[in-house]
Structures are given as C-alpha cells and as structure tokens.
Structure 1
C-alpha cells in the first residue's frame, strides 16, 4: 500500500488517489518540530519509584521509536536536504522569560503540557543528533503551531517556499497544529510518518488519519526520498 491509499479516514475512504506530488527542490523546505532535549531525557528505570513505573513503562515505546526510527531517519533527511542545497528549518518550544510568564495558555495548563523551557537552558535545545548547522533558521515559539507563534510565515515567503516537509513531535499536538496552520496559508504540506511520534503509537496513527488528504499528504521517508530523488 502506497502513500496514496494509506492513513485514510472515514471521509476519504472512497476518494480518488491523489496526483503525484510536485516538490521542486528550490520551493521545498524540511521543517523539524520540537525534537528537544526535554522530551528525550529519561532516568534509569531502577531509579524510578515503584509507584511511578507504570507511567515510565508507558512511555518506553515512544523513546524506543525516537531513538531507533525518528531521529535516525530525520537525520538522514537533513543530510540529504543539505547535500542538495535545500532549506532546513527548525522549530522549538521555549519561553523568553525564566518564569515562563510569556507562555501561551496551552503551555500553562496543569499536567503534562505545563513545561517550563527558558530559551537558553539545556532542556529547550534541539537534540544534538538533529542540531541546526551553519545559518539554518530556528524559530522559537510559545504556541503549539510553529506558524502562529513566530515569523515563520514570513520566512517561508521570503525563501520562496511553497512545500513544507514536516517531521518531529508530537504528531497529535505541535506537528498537527503546525500542519493545519501551514495548510490554512495554502502551503503544500507533507508529513513524514516515520519521522514523527506521539506519546503512543495509537495517537500517532489516529492523528495521521485525521490530517491526511485535507491538511497534508502523509508519506514515509523512503517514499519521499524516491519521489524527490534525494
């Protein structure tokens, strides 16, 4: 099954196959979303209290997917884009203030989303394996969408970008919010399914079906490399 028929929701079960994607290198950019140190940091399981181990273990598939699949394949895409002189951009969550008073409401909600990530601290930096190189552009946001909370819209326009290839975390949160914002600006959006992850694989798959064929097209890294001859 190819990208043209995978990840179809109820709405698109009987829709015709989409046309081949036209991804001109000069008009296409790779966007890496929120792959930051804070999300990959993890203590040794032996140091976790028995009461917290169920939660710890529930996150294990996410960490395995990130280390074994998402980060290596995203690093490979970055290398291919750079080799072909194509734009590589990055988005990260970080607040300008130490106490996080400039964060959006969604990033102040109690629970898992309530992360304090001052811009200069280690936790808010992009992981070393995917670190920007040279003059590659990084936008810093206090929103889920990388477009809404930054000048990314203007940057893409100034670069002459019409197609945005999205990777990163979390599929059902910041990736999805960014994809929807980009689509609303009439940019062509492609999500690389094996370069993204959600807290659970079920959430990842569910969100891909929700956004596919209306806000973006969902492809694998191998399919993208083939269609762009990277």
Structure 2
C-alpha cells in the first residue's frame, strides 16, 4: 500500500483577500498540523501534492454567489507561504472542485503506485469531499484527515464528516485524526 497526501486549496487568497471568512480562521489554526502531516509523509517518501484553485477571471463558478478568487497567474492562486512546501512536492492547479477533475492526478497516482489518497484542506464539504469521492470513483481508497480540514462553520465540517464516519464505504473511505494517520503511515500500515 502506498499513500499520497493532498492539500486542497490552501492558497494565498484564502489567507489574504478572504481572511475575514470563518474558514480562514480554522485554516490558519490547522496549518501547523498540516505541516506536521506533510513532514511525516515526506519522511516516509510519500508523494505530497498541493492542489490549488486556479480559476479564470470570468469562470463559470463565479456566476453564482462565489466571489472571484484564486485567479490563474496571480499571487492569490499560489500555495500559501505558511505551508512546508519543498522542491520535490507537486503543485496541481485545478479549475473545479475536485483535484481529479480534468487533471492527470489519477494517472500520476498509478505511475507512482499510489492506492490510497489522504485529503486535507478546505472546504471539507466542497473541494475536500469532492476530491475524496473522486478518489473512490477512480478506485483509490480515501482518507479525510478530520483535524486538517475546515469548512465555513464547525457544524458544516462535522456534519460532512459524520456522514462518512458511518458510511458503508468503510474501509474504502475513512475519516481519522492526523495523529492516527501519522501512526498508520509510521507503522507502514498506510505507507
């Protein structure tokens, strides 16, 4: 078994342009924990992928209530500088919610021998969940690291996670805290 770590949408716009949003405060609080998970994965030689929103100025998703952010080619669409990004890590721009949608992520994972995808980032109930479900749709096991994800409110975050804690998809889809995840990759159980 080989696990890859995905960090979803922790971009500069989240911490700058949209720093007033509740999800940003939760994201700031979890950055040290995500960095700890990144280092643990790196020590085991596991792939670390930063998947970033990279929208076009008049992108379809901005026709609803979502305000323009993370515009391709701007600093706002870059990986947040507070994250422990290293030269060997992968940055994967995406134009929609799932990191799998119209990217080469599934082919890369197969090339690398990955069979399990651990997902972190924002927002739990949108891009993190879409990516985890697409991992399953592409025949990869999925893990949502619960204390390394955040939503617009704690209720949204917990309601989403609770749906999948009791899911019949277990053990193909698991929700676990970062400490348990790091113990599993440390023991080789998830590495």
TM-score range (shorter-chain normalised) is: 0.7 to 0.9
Shift of 1:127: 0.6
Tell me the residue number matched to 2:174.
Answer: 217
Contact 1:176 1:211 (8 Å CA) reproduced: no
Shift of 1:130: 1.7
Distance 2:119 2:18 in 1: 29
**Higher Cα Rg, which structure:** 1
Residues 1-230 of structure 1 aligned to structure 2 (within 5 Å): 24=1, 27-41=2-16, 59-60=21-22, 62-68=23-29, 70-95=30-55, 97=56, 99-100=57-58, 103=59, 105=60, 107-111=61-65, 113-130=66-83, 132-212=85-165, 213=167, 214=169, 216-229=173-186
Contact 1:33 1:174 (8 Å CA) reproduced: yes
Q: Structure 1's 32 and 225: CA in aligned 2 closer, same or farther, altered over 3 A?
A: same
Contact 2:11 2:70 (8 Å CA) reproduced: no
Backbone CA RMSD of aligned residues: 2.0
Shift of 1:172: 0.5
Contact 1:30 1:164 (8 Å CA) reproduced: yes
1:120 match: secondary structure: coil
Tell me, which stretches of 5 or more residues in structure 2 are unaligned?
Answer: none
Instruction: Show CA shifts across 1:130-170 (max 9, x none).
Output: 25311321211111011013111111111110011110000
Q: Structure 1's 171 and 115: CA in aligned 2 closer, same or farther, altered over 3 A?
A: same
Q: TM-score, normalised by structure 2?
A: 0.87
Shift of 1:42: 5.7
Post-superposition, which runs of at least 4 consecutive aligned residues in structure 1 deviate over 4 A?
A: none
Q: TM-score, normalised by structure 1?
A: 0.73
Instruction: Show CA shifts across 1:57-115 (max 9, x none).
Output: xx44x3332222x11100011111112221111111103x5x34xx3x3x22322x232
Distance 1:211 1:184 in 2: 15
Q: Structure 1 residues 127-136 or 215-224, which shifts more?
A: 127-136
